[in-house]
């Protein structure tokens, strides 16, 4: 009886987690819409972004083009709680944090050695079909730069 109760409880917890992530408008696959984006030359460009459930965490994977025009792939696993979690694949950052502002808006920050390198906001449209990432940071010369990337849900 205890085993059955335990398994039922475990199944309900898993179902609740899946339902929670499924209702989050940020989850899913997003493709860069270059025509609607304003990304300056020399700024890294994420062409494909995927947010998926990883247990009780979220896994964010990106594919894109780096500052030298070479392809790159990053991975981050954590929670949308504003805490720093390790980031792999980005030579300019070793950690990232996401913080939920409201259902459709998150703050994002990339860090290198504990220092913020880029920060911004991600806003998903009310209909959930597009998202806009507005980011500011500094380039290799120390000049402040900004970027607006618009993504379409796949």
The alpha helices in the chain, defined as continuous H runs, are 2-23
3-state secondary structure at position 79: coil
pTM of the predicted structure, to 2 decimals: 0.82
User: Are 36 and 150 contacting, i.e. CB atoms less than 8 angstroms apart?
Assistant: yes
Rg of the chain in Å (alpha carbons): 17
Which of 3-17, 65-79, 134-148 is least confident?
A: 3-17
Q: How confident is the model at residue 1 (pLDDT cuts 50, 70, 90)?
A: low
Is the pLDDT at 5 greater than 70, yes or no?
no
Q: How confident is the model at residue 67 (pLDDT cuts 50, 70, 90)?
A: confident
What pLDDT, on the 0 to 100 scale, is given for residue 41? Answer: 84
What pLDDT, on the 0 to 100 scale, is given for residue 12? Answer: 46
Joined together, the tokens standing for residue 66 give 């780096």
Could you read off the pLDDT of 14-40 as tens digits, one per residue? 444 443 445 899 999 999 999 999 999
């Amino acid at each position: 009886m205890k085993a059955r109760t335990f398994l039922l409880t475990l199944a309900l917890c898993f179902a609740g987690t899946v339902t929670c992530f499924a209702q989050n408008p940020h989850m899913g696959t997003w493709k860069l819409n270059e025509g609607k984006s304003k990304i300056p030359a020399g700024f890294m460009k994420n062409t494909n972004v995927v947010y998926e459930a990883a247990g009780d965490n979220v896994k964010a994977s990106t594919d894109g083009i780096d500052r030298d025009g070479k392809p790159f792939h990053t991975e981050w696993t954590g929670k949308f709680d504003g805490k720093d979690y390790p980031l792999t694949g980005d030579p300019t950052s070793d950690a990232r944090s996401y913080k939920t502002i409201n259902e459709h808006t998150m703050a994002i920050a990339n860090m290198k050695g504990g220092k913020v390198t880029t920060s911004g906001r991600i806003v998903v449209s009310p209909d959930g079909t597009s998202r806009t990432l507005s980011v500011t940071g500094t380039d290799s010369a120390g000049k402040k730069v900004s970027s607006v990337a618009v993504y379409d849900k796949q």
